C-alpha cells in the first residue's frame, strides 16, 4: 500500500493506463471453419481409437473370456460362495460353444463382436469383484483351519498335563 507522502507512488497511481487494443473478432466463416476443423480433429481421434481397439479386440476378448471361464469353474467348485452371491451368479451365464457370456453388469450377452471399448473396464471390474468373493472365502477357510489346528494343539497340550487319574476321570485317552 503506497504511503501518503510518497511522490513516486502517487505518480504511479495517477499515470494513465495503456489503452486496450481490441482483438478483431473472427468472421462467421472463420468461426465455422474453426468449428469444422475441431470436429474433424475430434472425429479423427475417435476413429483412431476405434481402429486401435479393433486391432486388439481379439486379444482383449480372449483375456476376458479366459477370466470368465475361470470364474465359471470356480463357481461350480465353491457352492457356498455361489449360494452367498446367488443374486450375481443367477445372472452369470456362459455359452462356451458360442463364446458368449452374460453378467449382472452386462445387460445382454457379450461376445467378441459385441464387445466395446467402454464395456471392457466395467466387465473386468465386475469379474474382479466376483474373484474377490472367492479370495475372501479362501481367507476365511484358512482362518478357520488355523483356529481348529490351534484348538487341537491346545487340547493336546492340556491332555499332556493331565495325570493318569485325571484323564481316566474325564474319559480322555
pLDDT of 12 reads 63
**∠ CA(65), CA(140), CA(153), 5° rounding?**
140
pLDDT of 141 reads 94
pLDDT of 2 reads 54
pLDDT in tens, the chain (173 residues): 555 566 666 656 666 677 777 788 888 888 899 899 999 999 899 899 888 888 988 999 999 999 999 999 998 899 899 899 988 888 888 888 888 888 876 667 888 888 888 888 888 888 999 999 999 999 999 999 999 999 999 988 888 888 888 878 877 76
Provide the CB-side half-sphere exposure for 68 (13 A, CA). Answer: 24
pLDDT of 167 reads 78
- Report pTM: 0.64
Element containing residue 94 per DSSP (H, E): strand 93-95
What are the grid coordinates assigned to 3, written together?
A: 504511503
pLDDT of 105 reads 67
- Is residue 69 within 8 A of residue 130, CB to CB? The reply is no
Amino acid at each position: 500500500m503506497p504511503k501518503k507522502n510518497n511522490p513516486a507512488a502517487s505518480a504511479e497511481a495517477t499515470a494513465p493506463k495503456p489503452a486496450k487494443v481490441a482483438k478483431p473478432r473472427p468472421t462467421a466463416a472463420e468461426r465455422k471453419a474453426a468449428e469444422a476443423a475441431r470436429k474433424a480433429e475430434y472425429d479423427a481421434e475417435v476413429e483412431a481409437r476405434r481402429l486401435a481397439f479393433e486391432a486388439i479386440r481379439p486379444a482383449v476378448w480372449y483375456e476376458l473370456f479366459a477370466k470368465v471361464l475361470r470364474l465359471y469353474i470356480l463357481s461350480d467348485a465353491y457352492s457356498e460362495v455361489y449360494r452367498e452371491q446367488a443374486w450375481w451368479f443367477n445372472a452369470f451365464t456362459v455359452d462356451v460353444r458360442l463364446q458368449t457370456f452374460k453378467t449382472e453388469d452386462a445387460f445382454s450377452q457379450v461376445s467378441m463382436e459385441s464387445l466395446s471399448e467402454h464395456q471392457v473396464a466395467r466387465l473386468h471390474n465386475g469379474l474382479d469383484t466376483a474373484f474377490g468373493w472367492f479370495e475372501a472365502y479362501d481367507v476365511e477357510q484358512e482362518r478357520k483351519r488355523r483356529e481348529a489346528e490351534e484348538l487341537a494343539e491346545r487340547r493336546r497340550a492340556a491332555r499332556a498335563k493331565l495325570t493318569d487319574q485325571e484323564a481316566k476321570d474325564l474319559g480322555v485317552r
